[in-house]
Every structure is written in C-alpha cells, then in structure tokens.
C-alpha cells in the first residue's frame, strides 16, 4: 500500500520488509552487514538463529534482533517444521547514505560457545539486570530474543490495570534492558493489544511503521481507506499518514507486532505527532 513492491518484498519510507521460508534441514551461511535487521517468527518449530556466537531457538511470536555488524546465521533442524518469519531492515537508509556493506563469514557457519538461549536467560528477567562482571556497552540490546509467552502475558496483565493509549490500545516498546531505550539505534519495535471491540482514535506521526498481525483479526483505517487484516497479515503506515485500528471481535483480543524507524526520527530531532481533532477523533472512510 503506497509503497514500492518487488516480488514478496515491501518497502515503506526507509524500511524494508520481506518473508523468509526455511524447510527442515535448510540453513543460511553466516554473514554480516551494516544494516540493522530484525525478524518476527510467524509459524513453525525447530528453527534457530546464531548472533555473534549466541544460539537461540525460535518459536512463533518470538522477536529477534541482528544488530548492524553482527555475524548471524539461521536454519531449521532436520526434525523441525517449515518456518516462516518476517524480516525487517533499515537497508534503504543505509543505501541512501552509501554506508552499507556485506561480508560472508570465513567459516560459513559460526561456532556457538554459549549455552542455547543464554541472552534470554541472562537478560530476559522482568525488570532485572545482572550485577557484576563486564557491563554491557554495545549500542544495541544484549537481549537478542524477546519471547512471545512473556510478551503476551505482559500485555494481558497491563490490559487489566490501564486503559492504555487512545491511539494504540495497550502498547509496549521492546527495549534494551541495559538502557531502557530502543533495541537498536535505527530500528525500534512495539507490540500492542486491542481489547475485544476496541476502536482506537486516529493520529499521525513522522516515521514509517510496518505491522504484522500476531493474533486476532480486525481492520485499520489508513489515510481514509479501510484495510482488513487477520493473523499473519502484514500492512504498513507511511510517515505522516492518519491511522486508527479496530479489533474485529467483541470477545477476543487482537495483537499487532510492529517495527519502525522512530529511533532514527527521534535521534535526528524529526519526530512529530498529531491527533485527529475532527469527527470524534475518527477518519471519514472513502468508499
């Protein structure tokens, strides 16, 4: 929608997204690039990724980062299931700045010298950071995998204690636990829950957003047009486009994963946001 589309790839603003499918026994050789990258696991089992030697198992709903310059490879174990994930990168920004690069690991596959899922075990505790040892000083999150179970539980608990945002429902940002800031310097990600029957009000902001429907069904009104969605659908909101969301069920919640270039907008002092004042905060829908 309002984007450059090539094959199964999608671009909006400076963001690129695409789908990757891996079958049991397949793997991609280790490589790195200047572009920051992330992936949201949509379906499958038995998949894994390795980031700078840290191996982690992947399940549906998990969110994984591969920060710029980190070695990473991934695959599906022979006994696993065909796995599909959404990739997101800032490579359009890097290409425009003539700052991108790509390199293949000399051994093609990394050796993992850490326990499997070690970053989640060390940094994934609720509001807890390890004390002692060498402090984390890299410009990205030390938590490479954000697991679906604790993430969804946090949304449900919050929905019982707060009304959330009038524009996004119960929305939470994935954060770098060492700083409280975004997971990477140029890309950020959020997860949001819409209660049964919830309809948000419209707003717009600088910065583009790519959404993936993690749970439920509904529709969004973007720049005055309605777009219906269900689980595993992907849609985008371009920079400065009015948008609002509606949960299509009166009983069950809906969950939207999203990633954006908002960290870049904030770092450059370009972030701006505006609420729709007319029509009770809702857009007129073009037919």
| Spatial separation of the C-alpha atoms in residues 41 and 63, rounded to whole Å | 7
| Spatial separation of the C-alpha atoms in residues 20 and 24, rounded to whole Å | 13
Output the tens digit of pLDDT for each of the chain's 287 residues: 233 333 357 899 999 999 999 999 999 999 999 999 999 999 999 999 999 999 999 999 999 999 999 999 999 999 999 999 999 999 999 999 999 999 999 998 898 889 999 999 999 988 889 998 788 999 999 999 999 999 999 999 999 999 999 999 999 999 999 999 999 999 999 999 999 999 999 999 999 999 999 999 999 999 999 999 999 999 999 999 999 999 999 999 999 999 999 999 999 999 999 999 999 999 999 87
| Spatial separation of the C-alpha atoms in residues 28 and 104, rounded to whole Å | 11
Closest CA to 165 of 195, 197, 187, 209: 195
The pLDDT, as a whole number, for residue 287 is: 73
**Angle, CA 43 vertex, CA 40 and CA 47 arms, to 5°:** 80
For the beta carbon of residue 77, count every other beta carbon within 10 angstroms. Answer: 15
Q: Per-residue DSSP letters for 20-66?
A: EEE-TT-EEEEEEESS-EEEEEEE-SSEEEEETTEEEEE-TT-EEEE
Q: Positive or negative CA dihedral for 97, 99, 102, 105?
A: negative
How far, in Å, are 23, 30, 99, 210 from residue 102 at the CA level?
A: 25, 11, 10, 24
Q: Could you tell me if 145 and 117 are in contact, meaning their C-beta atoms sit under 8 angstroms apart?
A: yes
For the stretch 93-125, what's the b/e string if a residue is b when 16 or more beta carbons lie within 10 angstroms of its beta carbon? bbeeeeebeeeeeeeeebebeeeebbbbebbbe
| Spatial separation of the C-alpha atoms in residues 82 and 58, rounded to whole Å | 12
Model pTM?
0.94
Hey, which residues does 172 pair with through a beta bridge?
191
| Spatial separation of the C-alpha atoms in residues 199 and 169, rounded to whole Å | 8
100 φ, ψ (degrees, to nearest 5): -90, 155
Task: Write the CB contacts of 266 (distance below 8 Å, at least 6 apart in sequence).
Answer: none
Structure token pair of residue 193:
């829950």
The pLDDT, as a whole number, for residue 254 is: 98
**Angle, CA 39 vertex, CA 243 and CA 137 arms, to 5°:** 105
């Amino acid at each position: 929608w309002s984007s450059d589309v090539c094959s199964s790839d999608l671009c909006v603003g400076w963001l690129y997204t695409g789908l990757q499918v891996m079958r049991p026994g397949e793997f991609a050789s280790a490589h790195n690039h200047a572009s920051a990258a992330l992936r949201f696991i949509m379906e499958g089992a038995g998949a894994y990724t390795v980031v700078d030697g840290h191996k982690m198992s992947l399940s549906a709903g998990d969110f994984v980062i591969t920060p710029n310059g980190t070695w990473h490879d991934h695959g599906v174990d022979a006994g696993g299931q065909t796995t599909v994930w959404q990739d997101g990168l800032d490579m359009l920004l890097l290409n425009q700045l003539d700052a991108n690069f790509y390199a293949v690991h000399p051994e093609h596959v990394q050796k993992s010298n850490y326990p499997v899922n070690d970053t989640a075990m060390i940094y994934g505790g609720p509001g807890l950071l390890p004390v002692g040892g060498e402090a984390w000083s890299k410009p990205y999150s030390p938590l490479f995998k954000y697991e679906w179970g604790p993430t969804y539980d946090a949304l449900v608990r919050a929905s019982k204690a707060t009304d959330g945002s009038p524009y996004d429902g119960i929305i939470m940002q994935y954060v770098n636990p060492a700083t409280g800031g975004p997971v990477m310097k140029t890309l950020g990600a959020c997860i949001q829950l819409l209660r049964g029957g919830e309809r948000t009000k419209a707003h717009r902001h600088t910065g583009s957003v790519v959404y993936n429907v993690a749970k439920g069904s509904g529709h969004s009104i973007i720049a005055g047009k309605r777009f219906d969605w269900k689980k595993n659908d992907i849609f985008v909101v371009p920079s400065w486009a009015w948008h609002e969301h509606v949960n299509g069920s009166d009983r069950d919640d809906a969950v939207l994963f999203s990633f954006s270039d908002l960290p870049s907008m904030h770092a450059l002092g370009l972030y701006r946001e505006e609420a729709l004042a007319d029509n009770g905060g809702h857009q007129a829908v073009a037919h």
